[in-house]
Structure 1
Amino acid sequence: MTSSSTPAHAHAGPPDTKLDRHILIVAGVVVLGAIMSILDVTVVSVAQNTFQQEFGTDAAGAAWTMTGYTLALAAVIPLSSWAAARFGTKKVYLTSLVLFVIGSALCALAWNIGSLVAFRVIQGLGGGLLMPIGMMILTKAAGPERVGSVMAVLGIPMLLGPIAGPILGGLLIEKASWHWVFLINVPIGIVAIIYSWFALRNDEETSRPSIDFVGLLLLSPGLALFLYGISSSSEAGTFISAKVLVPAIIGAVLIAGFIWHALRSDKPLLDLRLFRNRTLTVAVISMTLFMIAFFGASLLFPQYFIGVRGETTLSAGLLLAPQGIGAMLTMPIAGRMTDKIGPGKFVLSGIVLMFLGMGTFVFVGAETSYLILCGALFVQGLGMGMTMMPIMTAALATLTNSQVPDGSTLVNVVQQTASSIGSAVIAVILATNLKNAPEGMLAIVSNTAPDKLPAGMQGAPVPTSFFEAAANAFGSTFVVGAILIALTLIPAFFLPRKKIASSLTEEDMDRAPIVMH
């Protein structure tokens, strides 16, 4: 391998877009952290009913095990750029892993729902930094010529988390106990800590910047309040509720205040001047629409299989496997080719495939063939693998080394916000569609206890017409997801359709990429 002191621009010939052994080692570190952070969200979602039974709480109380984690992520992600500059990416990444592992172990020891929520917050404070810091490490290690390839590697846990989570969660709860939903992170986390200690290189220099306290006091609570309001809509069943509007509006005002402050500050917590970069702006808009549609739809698939078709959590997870297989087939190819010919063509083709796959579910019924549904999920998976990571590549490939921390933080803020909005919007629309259906159907689809069903239905066979009506409600909700996917075509049309030119300066190229010796 070329010595780290050799300037990147000194090499003759076309740049190499292949991932060498050293970059793959670094990628392995980041993927381990991402797997824990992302899987934990979907695995815990499967355990909601178990938490209600174990701790004697209701659905709203159990939901705080997810909400608390999400709010902790939102609060800590904006700090990632400053923390990387102040302490170095290796130290911050290791600290995040340690915090996440400690939080996981504490969650397994929880004695009531309050303690579990508190420990989930600790876990979220660690997990919130794993993805943005990991993206910084990978992007700098690979350099602009190989961003697409490394993003494809990082995309595997991001895309497969919603699919593997229900399978893993179902297995752990059915075969072991709810404690293992969290305990499984401990051995994986210890391996990741040891691996990171030896594989990651210490940053050669840190800039020791002072923290932007005004920006921090505006953005972190602003994001947390906004996402809390949005996520509360699922429980409220509507967006027109004081519980939803009050925190969401206060959060939006704080975020607007941060934008005003950041554009006038010399050293803001997050440099929003990056939006002057046209490619970054188009990629962020594309990513926002894509994330809203993708995470919203991810909520619907398992609910349909469980609530309408009567499948177990484990079976529902296995039925979603074709989507993951499709993504795994196209993602590595799209990553490598994006580095060579740009993201535009792949993203547009991927969105069309996703629209076709999700469009099939618009016509879903109570007895639609699993062959058709699994085929549609496979097609959608092919599209997913060609969409998400090329968009992220477009967002980061034109940035200089000094801009990567802010760019990575910005991408993760957008991802977290858009995924929360998507889940909330789709949940509210589904609940509305189910409420407009025959009495008792919402209770049946939601797996409500039999004694809470309407009088006359308790102990009686559920009419077939109810499940058909439920399927129609899901189909109507999938229409929204398909429309959002189609709308992504508009900004995606403006993504580069040729190789993205690097924005690295001579100074950036003279710096060594961060790789293992």
Structure 2
Amino acid sequence: MNVDISADNGLTNAKNNIKTVPIIVSFLIAGFIGLFSETALNMALNSLITDFGIHETTVQWLTTGYLLTLGILVPVSGLILQWFSTRQLFITSLIFSIIGTFIAAIAPTFTVLMIARVVQAVGTALLLPLMFNTILVLIPPQNRGKIMGLMGLVISFAPAVGPTISGLILKWLTWHWIFWISLPLLIVAIVYGSFFMQNVTTPTKPKIDIFSILLSTIGFGGIVYGFSSAGEGGGWGSLEVIISLVAGVLGLFLFITRQLTMKQPIMNLKVFKYPMFVIGLILIVIVMMVMLSSMILLPLYLQTVLALSTFTAGLLLLPGGLMNGLLSPLMGGLFDKFGPKWLVIPGFVLVLATLFGFSTIDLETSKGFIIGLLIVLMIGVSMIMMPAQTNGLNQLPPELYPHGTAVMNTLQQVAGAIGTAIAISLLSSGSNDYLSNPVDAANPLNPLLAFTEGLHRSFTFAIVVAVIGLVIAFFVKRVKIEHN
């Protein structure tokens, strides 16, 4: 991969004697390894169920706990970014990732592995907002597309190859080796960053409001946990889910109310006064819901209906993820040149076309058709995500950068939990409705036919969401930069 980062592109901050290239490379390395381990463990869930003698609902806590930690920490990342230097946060995030990965590699019990995943999530929750905020501070607005595209490559490529590589590892080794292989790479990342990471902001250390942090934890944590629990089989009628969602909504309402009345809020909601930020945020939330719901439905379809192994299913999903990652830098360059509208509108058209295709799949659908649709879907996603995000953040004044990145990263986590939960619940309800009144009760294929019926219902919901996104995309305008 050739990375064109030069002084001519405005990527060197001579005034502050900051060497931008090594800083960007440090984030690329750390981000790739961190996000790889985030998805790699998904392929090992069956092995973990067998090794630890636990139930499927228990093993899902490895994902729920990870998302819950992100949902709690990311909302306060705007405050964290103002209290500590870039170098301190970068090294701290990698220390958490290294400790979590090591604990996971030697984990003798499920409880220990669960703790390790939470520690890993702390590292990710610190790294991602720091990465985006650093780009906003270092890179001039007219050149951010390319660099955000490079970050998009990492963010898309690492999770895409995670399941495939871990599937290969599990074919020959135990699940522990997913972490043993990640560990030395994380050590390389922290050593490299220790030499080259520089401080690009000056900590202002605003007042810490403990009550706001508590309300944020209850609000965002409750919503993420509630939707995650519903999506993992708890069902919307579960008392646990209802209590979590009610507590989350109430906590979020009180959190927002408090932020609007504080002189120094921990999450400055003034970002919502900027229309292109709001539109970009909505588009990102929509595309995250569509993408993550698709990425949980398709593996289930490949393994349940087409009866493929986890490794084969991972290989079939790989080209789409690779396409998304590889196109991100290209879309960044096109964004810098043409602006967002002529990317996000065609992007949503492609997303809609593929969702219509997915809504027709059945027992006879070929693997090639699935691969083709997924590739086109990911091309569409790459045309939406980075342009919408970069254009929205570009409209914010520099003092709101930490808060803008905190809001975007937080709502991405919430959108992922919501999209996944709705997709799974629609899949379940569609399957149950079919089985309650099958066309031919004696047909041995009824369970598979019921599954595809549920699948169609889930993708129909995704189509509705994508249509809303397409309509909103027509209101996107290129931001006129009035600040440096």
Equivalent pair of 1:162/1:298 in contact (CA under 8 Å): no
Equivalent pair of 2:23/2:198 in contact (CA under 8 Å): no
Given the alignment of the two structures, is residue 76 of structure 1 paired with residue 73 of structure 2, yes or no?
yes
Per-residue CA deviations over 1:228-248 (Å, capped at 9, x if unaligned) read 111110233521221111011
Q: Quick one: which of 279, 282, 285 aligns to 1:282? A: 279
Per-residue CA deviations over 1:423-456 (Å, capped at 9, x if unaligned) read 11111111222223448x9xxxxxxxxxxxxxxx
In structure 2, the CA distance between the partners of 1:344 and 1:204, relative to structure 1 (3 Å rule), is closer
CA distance in 2, matches of 1:296, 1:235: 13
Per-residue CA deviations over 1:286-333 (Å, capped at 9, x if unaligned) read 111111111111101111111111111111111113312432453222
| 1:396 Cα deviation after fit | 1.1
Q: Quick one: which of 64, 67, 77 aligns to 2:64? A: 67
Q: Hey, what does 2:119 align to over in structure 1?
A: 122
SS at match of 1:221: helix
In structure 2, the CA distance between the partners of 1:99 and 1:33, relative to structure 1 (3 Å rule), is same
Per-residue CA deviations over 1:258-281 (Å, capped at 9, x if unaligned) read 100111111111100111011111
Given the alignment of the two structures, is residue 479 of structure 1 paired with residue 476 of structure 2, yes or no?
no
Q: Quick one: which of 110, 114, 118 aligns to 1:113? A: 110
Equivalent pair of 2:98/2:183 in contact (CA under 8 Å): yes
CA distance in 1, matches of 2:19, 2:371: 38
Q: Number of matched residues? A: 471
* 475-484 or 465-474, which deviates more: 465-474
- Letter of the structure 1 residue corresponding to residue 455 of structure 2: F
5+ residue gaps, structure 1: 8-20, 442-456, 510-517
Q: Quick one: which of 154, 157, 163 aligns to 1:157? A: 154
- Letter of the structure 2 residue corresponding to residue 392 of structure 1: Q
CA distance in 2, matches of 1:189, 1:416: 24
| 1:58 Cα deviation after fit | 0.6
Equivalent pair of 1:151/1:389 in contact (CA under 8 Å): yes
| 1:369 Cα deviation after fit | 2.0
SS at match of 1:495: coil
- Letter of the structure 1 residue corresponding to residue 23 of structure 2: V
| 1:254-273 paired onto structure 2 within 5 Å | 254-273=251-270
Q: Hey, what does 2:382 align to over in structure 1?
A: 385
CA distance in 1, matches of 2:342, 2:226: 37
In structure 2, the CA distance between the partners of 1:325 and 1:126, relative to structure 1 (3 Å rule), is closer
5+ residue gaps, structure 2: 1-6
Given the alignment of the two structures, is residue 467 of structure 1 paired with residue 464 of structure 2, yes or no?
no
- Identical positions, percent: 28
Given the alignment of the two structures, is residue 230 of structure 1 paired with residue 227 of structure 2, yes or no?
yes
Given the alignment of the two structures, is residue 494 of structure 1 paired with residue 475 of structure 2, yes or no?
yes
Equivalent pair of 1:167/1:317 in contact (CA under 8 Å): yes
| 1:486 Cα deviation after fit | 1.8
Which structure carries more helix by proportion?
A: 2
Equivalent pair of 1:150/1:335 in contact (CA under 8 Å): yes
- Letter of the structure 2 residue corresponding to residue 376 of structure 1: L
Equivalent pair of 2:287/2:381 in contact (CA under 8 Å): no
- Letter of the structure 2 residue corresponding to residue 26 of structure 1: I
| 1:93-108 paired onto structure 2 within 5 Å | 93-108=90-105
Q: Hey, what does 2:288 align to over in structure 1?
A: 291
Given the alignment of the two structures, is residue 253 of structure 1 paired with residue 259 of structure 2, yes or no?
no
Given the alignment of the two structures, is residue 503 of structure 1 paired with residue 482 of structure 2, yes or no?
yes
| 1:495 Cα deviation after fit | 1.1
CA distance in 1, matches of 2:302, 2:285: 27
**TM-score, normalising length from structure 1?**
0.86
| 1:104-253 paired onto structure 2 within 5 Å | 104-203=101-200, 205-253=202-250
* 318-327 or 65-74, which deviates more: 318-327
* 345-354 or 472-481, which deviates more: 472-481
- Letter of the structure 1 residue corresponding to residue 37 of structure 2: D
- Letter of the structure 1 residue corresponding to residue 134 of structure 2: I
| 1:24 Cα deviation after fit | 4.4
In structure 2, the CA distance between the partners of 1:270 and 1:347, relative to structure 1 (3 Å rule), is same
Equivalent pair of 2:148/2:329 in contact (CA under 8 Å): no
CA distance in 2, matches of 1:181, 1:257: 41
Q: Hey, what does 2:3 align to over in structure 1?
A: none
Equivalent pair of 1:99/1:125 in contact (CA under 8 Å): yes
- Letter of the structure 1 residue corresponding to residue 277 of structure 2: L
| 1:339 Cα deviation after fit | 1.8
- Letter of the structure 2 residue corresponding to residue 268 of structure 1: P
SS at match of 1:402: helix
Cα RMSD (Å): 2.3
CA distance in 2, matches of 1:25, 1:369: 45
Equivalent pair of 1:293/1:422 in contact (CA under 8 Å): yes
Equivalent pair of 2:44/2:175 in contact (CA under 8 Å): yes
| 1:217 Cα deviation after fit | 1.3
Equivalent pair of 2:71/2:221 in contact (CA under 8 Å): yes
